[in-house]
């Protein structure tokens, strides 16, 4: 399906030809309406299957693609991998219905230009994503043009590198800079004469020790760097993340070798990626690990326990009465109760223990068994911290919790999810026993004084 959009207002976007891979007709209509307002001179073709998308991309000259993540048996991420492998190098933006930080990280690593949630998609969000993707593409094209031009002549090379928004340096085999372009000073804060004649790596990466510097120099000479991220220090002390690529140029006979070093400041990209990865394993409300993060960390601990032959304890904690708090006092107070319970978990367990919130009112910890962290000791310690917390805080209710503990035996290892399920079952049994005791106490008549 092709849709032409009449001009409604001026746009700073060029005329673009866009391919939309989407199997939801309503989302196709919404996309067309938004695109018509953002880039009225552009057009988009719509297909609803990955196979048709691949056929289109073999022949049609699309400037930009949008892939929906859910495409039947194949995901947009699968399609992204295959079209990149087939050589399609134009920007691709992945769309999803709900948003998932883990998918976002995978998409960016696979070569996506951006990742958008269709929930709340607006003119501003879509327009910004298109502009950003086209800018990244243009920067990449400039970098590729530069690398091609590098083979032509020294004079043309000098002219081009000084215009590039990329750090370029010519280094001796030992690492001293012989030439730097203007961007090198703009990005690092050092003037050209402060860089030329200095050891490039020792100046920009002073945190590397002597052994690491030697290994780096050997690698640069032997195989080069290809889009390798490394920390670097700005002249004012700020830490940067630089992406380096190098090539060794053989000089005329007796002239030795020159290392051409190309760098891009990817500090913001690295920050966004780290933030996405953090969000993927962290519970936003409490700051504890979420289910995915807890299971990942705990699985590593269990592997170590099986190898070293030491036991561990899984402690399952259920916050009592959360529904009543939400119903009677509001969800804001319920969120406060969850945050307070997370703090109780932090005070109860050690920094080396793995702690997470794995459900609405469910918390879990994995601890090494040993004094004072035996099963009975853990329960007593948690109850003590709860009592201290209730005494210190003023609220209209008391925090209380039901607790279950399951032991991991390295002689009969099990997966972490099975261990957590055992602790959950033990917690449920303890909760039921408490309820039965409460019923008996309420039903027993009090003797007259």
Domains of the chain: 2-138 (3.40.50.2300), 150-268 (3.30.450.20), 282-443 (3.30.70.270)
Position 370 confidence tier, pLDDT thresholds 50, 70, 90: low
Query: Mean pLDDT of all residues in the chain?
Result: 84
pLDDT > 90: percent of the chain: 35
- φ, ψ of residue 252 to 5 degrees: the values are -60, 165
Who wins on pLDDT, 446 or 379? 379
| Ordered alpha helix ranges (H), 196-266 | 200-204, 210-222
Q: What whole-number distance in Å separates Cα of residue 260 and Cα of residue 250?
A: 11
Report yes or no on whether pTM surpasses 0.85.
no
Nearest to 113 by CA among 140, 141, 94: 94
Tokens encoding 167: 């750090």
Would you say residue 397 has pLDDT above 50?
yes
Mean pLDDT across 339-362:
92
Helix (H) or strand (E) holding 19: strand 17-21
Q: Compute the CA torsion angle 115, 120, 126, 127 (nearest 10 deg).
A: -140
Q: What whole-number distance in Å separates Cα of residue 205 and Cα of residue 229?
A: 12
- φ, ψ of residue 168 to 5 degrees: the values are -130, 130
Would you say residue 346 has pLDDT above 90?
yes
Give the residue carrying structure tokens 């995978």. Answer: 106
Could you please report the per-residue DSSP string of 173-191?
TTSBEEEE-HHHHHHH---
User: Are the beta carbons of 204 and 232 closer than 8 angstroms?
Assistant: yes
Coil vs helix vs strand at 79:
helix
Would you say residue 275 has pLDDT above 70?
yes
Q: What whole-number distance in Å separates Cα of residue 259 and Cα of residue 248?
A: 5
Would you say residue 447 has pLDDT above 60?
no
E strands present in 26-63: 43-47
Would you say residue 418 has pLDDT above 90?
yes
Cβ neighbours of residue 400 closer than 8 Å, sequence gap 6 or more? 319, 320, 321, 386
Cβ neighbours of residue 152 closer than 8 Å, sequence gap 6 or more? none
Least confident range of 4-8, 19-23, 183-187, 285-289: 4-8
Would you say residue 156 has pLDDT above 80?
no
If you average pLDDT over each of 12-16, 191-195, 370-374, which comes out highest? 191-195
Quote the DSSP letter at residue 233.
Answer: E
Mean pLDDT across 208-217:
88
Mean pLDDT across 184-202:
92
Q: Compute the CA torsion angle 66, 68, 73, 78 (nearest 10 deg).
A: 50
Number of continuous H segments (helices) and E segments (strands) in the chain = 16, 17
Q: What whole-number distance in Å separates Cα of residue 441 and Cα of residue 182?
A: 81
């Amino acid at each position: 399906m092709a849709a032409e959009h009449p001009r409604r207002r001026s746009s700073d976007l060029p005329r673009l030809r866009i391919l939309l891979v989407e199997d939801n007709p309503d989302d196709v209509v919404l996309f067309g309406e938004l695109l018509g307002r953002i880039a009225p001179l552009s057009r988009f073709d719509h297909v609803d299957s990955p196979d048709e998308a691949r056929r289109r991309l073999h022949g049609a000259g699309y400037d930009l693609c949008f892939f929906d993540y859910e495409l039947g048996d194949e995901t947009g991420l699968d399609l992204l991998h295959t079209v990149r492998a087939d050589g399609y190098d134009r920007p691709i933006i992945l769309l999803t219905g709900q948003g998932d930080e883990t998918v976002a990280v995978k998409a960016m690593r696979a070569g996506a230009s951006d990742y958008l949630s269709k929930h709340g998609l607006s003119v501003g969000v879509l327009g910004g994503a298109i502009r950003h993707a086209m800018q990244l593409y243009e920067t990449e094209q400039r970098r590729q043009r530069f690398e091609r031009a590098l083979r032509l002549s020294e004079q043309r090379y000098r002219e081009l590198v000084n215009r590039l928004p990329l750090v370029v340096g010519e280094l001796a085999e030992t690492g001293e800079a012989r030439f730097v372009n203007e961007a090198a000073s703009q990005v690092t804060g050092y003037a050209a004469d402060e860089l030329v004649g200095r050891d490039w790596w020792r100046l920009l990466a002073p945190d590397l020790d002597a052994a690491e510097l030697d290994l780096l120099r050997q690698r640069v000479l032997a195989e080069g760097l290809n889009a390798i991220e490394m920390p670097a220090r700005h002249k004012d002390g700020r830490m940067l993340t630089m992406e380096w690529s190098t090539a060794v140029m053989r000089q005329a006979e007796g002239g030795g070798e020159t290392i051409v070093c190309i760098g891009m400041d990817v500090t913001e990209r690295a920050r966004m990626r780290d933030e996405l990865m953090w969000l993927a394993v962290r519970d936003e409300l409490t700051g504890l690990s979420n289910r995915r993060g807890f299971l990942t960390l705990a699985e590593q601990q269990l592997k170590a326990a099986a190898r070293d032959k030491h036991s561990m304890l899984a402690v399952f904690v259920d916050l009592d009465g959360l529904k009543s708090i939400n119903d009677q006092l509001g969800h804001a107070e319920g969120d406060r109760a969850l945050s307070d319970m997370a703090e109780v978990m932090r005070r109860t367990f050690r920094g080396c223990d793995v702690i997470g919130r794995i459900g609405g009112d469910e918390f879990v910890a994995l601890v090494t068994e040993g004094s004072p962290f035996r099963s009975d000791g853990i329960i007593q310690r948690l109850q003590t911290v709860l009592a201290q917390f209730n005494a210190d805080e003023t609220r209209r209710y008391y925090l209380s919790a039901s607790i279950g503990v399951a032991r991991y035996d390295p002689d009969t290892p099990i997966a972490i999810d099975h261990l957590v399920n055992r602790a959950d079952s033990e917690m449920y049994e303890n909760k039921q026993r408490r309820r039965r005791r409460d019923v008996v106490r309420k039903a027993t008549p009090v003797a007259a004084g």
